[in-house]
Structure 1
Amino acid sequence: MSTWTDMRDKALEAMKEGALDVVEETKQKFLDNFIDAGMPAIEAYAELFSATVQEQAKNETGWVKIRDMFVIPLAVKAALGVSSGILSMVQGKTGKAATA
């Protein structure tokens, strides 16, 4: 097995044995960090992906051109918008509940 597989297996085994103590504060910090650092990285990747697909559409025809020019970029943007909105809503509601 590879080193990565060994590390993964050890981490999973440690989690099963309770090494990962997930309390409310841990969940809040994870959510805050994911929104602050993770989402911008995902959005940057999605923007680059959509731009690349739209650039490739210039060499396509028919349905593939429509898909690459409009459908995929719109679906990516919509999915990111919904995900971002849900995470922000959850962050606000759970943040208020944790302080109450």
Structure 2
Amino acid sequence: MKVNDEEEPDIQSLAEEIARYLQGREQVADTLDGILQWWILRQRLHEERRRVERAMAYLHQQGTISIRTLPDGRLLYIGRPSATDKPHLDS
């Protein structure tokens, strides 16, 4: 398959994503299925984790959620009920 310099932007973006995964990993090799499963998904999870962490910090600053630190140091994000939410009564 020939790739030209005017390749679609999403192909260029995917190529850059793969290049980021390869940084610091020497002598890596895989099949197309392995690249999809291990390289792409792993890189996306890593990048999404940072984005989600920033989004949760934003929600905390806005007062939408509260945060507790668990004994092992991980953070627990807790949704705050809105003023229109009714309390649930257990029967």
TM class by shorter chain equals 0.3 to 0.5
Greater RCO, 1 or 2 (C-alpha within 8 Å, sep 6+): 1
TM-score (norm 1): 0.31
Quick check: which one's strand share is greater?
Answer: 2
TM-score (norm 2): 0.33
